[in-house]
Amino acid sequence: MKTYKHIVLLFTFLMLVSSACKKDFGDLNSDPHGFTTASDGSLFNGVIQSLVPPGNEYMYLLNEIIYKQTQLAALTYEAWGNFGLGSEDLWASLYLSLPEIRELERRFEAMEASPELDNMKAMLKIVKAYKAFKLTDIYGDIPLSMAGYGFTEISNEYLYPKYDRQEEIYLYLLEELQWADEHIDPVAVSQEPFNTFKSYDQLFKGDMHLWQKLANSLRLRHAMRMHEKSPVEAAAIIKDIIDNERPLLQGYDFITEVLESACLWPAEVGFSNYGHNWAFHEHKNLRMGSNVWQQMAAHDSADGSGIFDPRAYVFFEGNNSLDWKPYPQLSPSGIPAPGGIPYGYHRDDINFPEAYFIKGEDNIYSPVNYFLVRSYNSVPVILMTGAEVHYIKAEAYLRGIGVAQDVDLGEIEYLNGISSSVAWWTNTSNSFRLPNAQIAKPAFNPIPDHLNIASVVNVFGMWNAPTDEEKLEFLYTQRWLDLFWQPWQAYALARRTAKTPREGAALNHYRLPYPDTESIYNKASMMDAVSHQGGAQPENKIWWIP
């Protein structure tokens, strides 16, 4: 963690509190002069707000690096090599919220024990785990156990916090999530201090059953992620969750839609997520690649008649001629240069709605869907969905991880995963709306009626995968597609399995280097972590990668 942030934190954190202590992301406190005047709920709301990725993360890390590495999209031109800006913001998303987390932990320990207090502790542990997992999955070893205390503990061990080993971080966070699962009381929601605290919960609005489901869903995700390197511990966690039927986010109950998810919905929470909107407008260089296209279309007909997956109409759109044309993933020499203005704000003009169709004559390749990148009031910030839980359970059954190997149960969970992913994305996209023109996606970018769950299953049903290896490839392909708007999670899947769809050479990009400011303000601790991991360049694997 950056030392200067600790040294001046008594001053700068006053600014953080005043900007982060918001309900519905609007001002609540008229006198935010430090922790003593910030309520518990307003501090927690600041932590929730930090879950929204900043624009620099979208632009410099996701659009420029991670979409390319996962091949969920094609990078047509490398124009933004300064990934350091994105890395600094991603790093800060945890470390600027850790002081709020530590202050809440301190306050909670001083309160009188009660089921309501345990609920509050559990909510904080779950959000902390999500944020720390996201960062360690990108960088490997990171400061955690000693980080975030610099505003109260002025000593070298806190001002220059050590980097914890990723394996230790994983085991610690998984224990925190287990504590949350075991201590949440879904009915203890009406007494103080929880009654006030829950009004600041912009994720689940105080629904502790959903918080419990998120805790176990995250346990499942990260236990599976570390299985190749820590099989005994991972299997035990997966077994506990599945055998004991611990609450999980659910997408489908066989034939019944449930479609649960953990998301921040801008219109409901009261904020506008300008980050991805700005990033695509400025970046301009992402298009639908040939790799992802081949997983959604049976042939290359420009009229889209080969498309069998309705999510193609959610994630992408036709070019300026309304033709479906993928950009070659490996970009051979002599290929026409990409161009056009598919992410220009002119497409969202209340006085000229037909401008939506103007993408520039040289926009010859299919762009990412404009409704997805522009609808900053209606596109959710996704933490996890029920579809992903089904895919993880399917892998557990197909491979016999924590449970007895059972291909039939694996196929049921896989089918639930496809069903819930297609239904969730289709339903969610129906609410996408251009903020200026107020054009709804179904009106200008409708999904054809013949595309549905059945059209995907007809191609990717397990009966079309005769071997165990092919079944896993189908599973990883569908989970990878579902993670289109969470490319950092798709990046983790690709690194762990090396079985997601890919054109060309095998993936050889496993991490991001640490932010430059760490080499200035916490150099000794950082260099120890670099040495322990054998380097910090993209080709150096982090702990859980086989």
Note whether residue 237 is domain-resident.
Answer: yes
- Express each pLDDT in 305-334 by its tens digit: 999 999 999 999 999 999 999 999 988 777
Report how far residue 304's alpha carbon sits from residue 207's, in angstroms, rounded to the nearest whole number.
Answer: 42
SS3 199: helix
Classify residue 60: in a domain, yes or no: yes
Q: What is the mean pLDDT of residues 90-119?
A: 97
Higher-confidence position of 280 and 6: 280
Residues 6 or more apart from 58 whose CB is under 8 A from it? 86, 275, 276, 278, 279, 280
3-state SS, residue 156: helix
Quote the CA–CA distance of 487 and 485 in Å, as a whole number: 6
What's residue 139's pLDDT? 98
Q: Which sign does the torsion angle of CA 362, 286, 436, 324 carry?
A: positive
Within a domain: 138: yes
The answer to whether residue 8 scores a pLDDT higher than 90 is no
Across 441-470, average pLDDT: 97
pLDDT band at 14; cut points 50, 70, 90:
very low
Residue 278, pLDDT score = 95
pLDDT confidence band for 153 (50 / 70 / 90):
low
Sequence-ordered list of residues with C-beta below 8 angstroms from that of 398, at least 6 positions apart, any chain:
405, 407, 410, 414, 468, 471, 472, 475
Residue listed under structure tokens 């942030």: 5
User: Is the pLDDT score of 29 beyond 50?
Assistant: no
- Token pair 């309520």 is found at 39
Would you say residue 58 lies in a domain?
Answer: yes
482-526 pLDDT, tens digit per residue, is 999 999 999 999 999 999 999 999 999 999 999 999 999 999 999
My answer on whether omega of the bond before 193 falls inside 30° of 0, hence cis, is: yes
Q: Averaged over 423-446, what is the pLDDT? A: 96
Q: Is residue 545 domain-resident?
A: no
Q: Is the pTM of this model over 0.85?
A: yes
- State how many domains the chain has: 1
State residue 336's pLDDT score.
Answer: 82
Residue 252's DSSP bridge partners are 257
Q: What is the mean pLDDT of the chain?
A: 92
- Please determine, for residue 37, whether its predicted confidence score (pLDDT) is greater than 80: no
Count Cα atoms within 13 angstroms, Cβ side, for 333.
Answer: 0
Query: Is residue 192 included in any domain, yes or no?
Result: yes
Burial (CB count <10 Å: 0-12, 13-18, 19+), residue 156: exposed
Torsion angle of the four alpha carbons 526, 527, 532, 536, in this order, in degrees rounded to the nearest 10? 80
The two three-digit tokens of residue 354, written as one number: 């037909």
Q: Supply the CATH number for residue 525's domain.
A: 1.25.40.390
Residue 7 has a pLDDT of: 34
Rounded Cα distance, 118 and 131, in Å: 20
Is the pLDDT score of 34 beyond 80? no
- How far apart are the C-alpha atoms of 517 and 84, rounded to whole Å? 9
Full residue range of the structural domain in which residue 462 is found: 3-272+378-499+514-533
- Would 364 be classed as within a structural domain? no
- Between 157-161, 170-174, 177-181, 331-335, the lowest mean confidence (pLDDT) is in 331-335
> Is residue 197 situated within a structural domain?
yes
User: How far is residue 392's CA from residue 382's CA, in Å, rounded to a whole number?
Assistant: 17
Q: Give pLDDT tens digits for 186-205.
A: 999 999 999 999 999 999 99
